[in-house]
Amino acid sequence: MLGLLLLVVVMALLFDYTNGFHDAANAIASAVSTRALTPRVALLLAAVGNLVGALLSTGIATTIAASIIVPPEGRAGIAVVLAALVGAIVWNFVTWYFGLPSSSSQALVGGLVGAGLASGSAVEWVSGVVGKVLVPMVVSPVIGLVGGYGLMLVALWALRRANPHRVERGFRVAQVFSAASLAVGHGLQDAQKGMGVIVLALVTLGYQDTYAVPLWVIGLCALALAAGTSSGGWRIMRTLGRRIFPLRPVSGFAAELTASSVLYLTAFVVAAPVSTTQVVTASVMGVGSTRGLSAVRWGVAREILLAWVLTLPAAAVVGALAYLLTGRLA
């Protein structure tokens, strides 16, 4: 049993690592594209912010562990958890390769649901998948879109008579802090997903009776996410930083502030595992829309939307197929 637990821990850390380099662009694409930060400094800032954020809360980890599926106990349950991780990791690699900012959160939930269905495990559809995952995942980008649009309008009105060069310089400095805030929010959200899977494995194997997250799990997942982030996500960074809307310092600041606010709200208030990618992308779209609908490259937005729609079912299919292999462990 200990060997199976170690295998789950390694796979969960690999998921957090792929999550890190897949989502590295979330916190720093705006700051890099506006030249507020150099790419190397921005990656270091994102990695440190991810590490700090991962240590701040465990509410989302509990949601992942206790509210999505109820696998059987022992080896049979571990087979389900492993299949879910395979589904999430494979989809992360696919979307990273094509430079699509999809959701690692949706990939993990999809993997859990697919493996759960393939194994005959109970899936918490209403209270878990829908209530604690799908509804927040749909609502959070809408808040990011509307919030980014509103905050940018306020900024444009407040700065309408200011010197453009001073505004640009000032917001380049401000972006250092907004990017750091967003990096902490990313760590707060995404490191907990790997924690939740490990806790689910601990409970399934009988190593603990509750869904409390041990300190060693928090530390390992925080380090894995930070390591993945420091390795970069340049393909996705180009999509978020330039292809959707050409950001300037003030618009980058508005997008980052909006997105980080949504991430803190969903983590601390409702403990919902939302997608940082979706929230950041929607915030960028909202900010860009203040320049007119034609300012946003909606063709790119459609590609991203397609990736969002496909992620959960695609990861579920991969998770179900993976269970055909891992199910032999049962």
CA dist 252 and 171 (Å) reads: 9
pLDDT of residue 244: 55
Per-residue confidence band for 185, with pLDDT thresholds at 50, 70 and 90:
very high
pLDDT of residue 234: 54
Per-residue confidence band for 95, with pLDDT thresholds at 50, 70 and 90:
confident
Q: Is the pLDDT of residue 85 over 90?
A: yes
Q: Is the pLDDT of residue 242 over 60?
A: no
pLDDT of residue 312: 87
Over residues 183-201, the mean pLDDT reads: 92
Burial bucket for residue 164 (CB in 10 Å: 0-12, 13-18, 19+): exposed
C-beta of residue 315 within 8 angstroms of C-beta of residue 91: yes
Distances (CA, A) of 163 to 156, 167, 170, 252: 12, 6, 11, 18
- Of the candidate ranges 39-48, 51-60, 206-215, 228-237, the one whose mean pLDDT is the lowest: 228-237
Distances (CA, A) of 263 to 177, 232, 244, 279, 311: 16, 21, 21, 8, 20
C-beta of residue 193 within 8 angstroms of C-beta of residue 64: yes
Q: Is the pLDDT of residue 25 over 80?
A: no
At 3-20, the pLDDT tens digits run 889 999 999 999 988 888
Per-residue confidence band for 26, with pLDDT thresholds at 50, 70 and 90:
low
Report percent pLDDT > 70 for the chain: 89
pLDDT of residue 41: 83
pLDDT of residue 241: 47
C-beta of residue 301 within 8 angstroms of C-beta of residue 285: yes
Q: What is the CA radius of gyration of the chain?
A: 19
At 48-68, the pLDDT tens digits run 888 899 889 999 999 999 999
CA dihedral 96, 98, 103, 107 (to 10 degrees): -80
Per-residue confidence band for 99, with pLDDT thresholds at 50, 70 and 90:
low
pLDDT of residue 295: 65
CA dist 229 and 24 (Å) reads: 5
Q: Is the pLDDT of residue 239 over 80?
A: no
pLDDT of residue 243: 54
pLDDT of residue 249: 87
Over residues 222-242, the mean pLDDT reads: 67
At 288-327, the pLDDT tens digits run 888 887 767 666 667 767 777 888 898 999 999 999 988 8
Average per-residue pLDDT in the chain?
A: 86
Whether this model's pTM surpasses 0.85: yes
Over residues 243-260, the mean pLDDT reads: 83
Chain centroid to CA 46: how far? Answer: 13
φ/ψ of residue 207, rounded to 5? -75, -20
For the chain, the residue count is 330
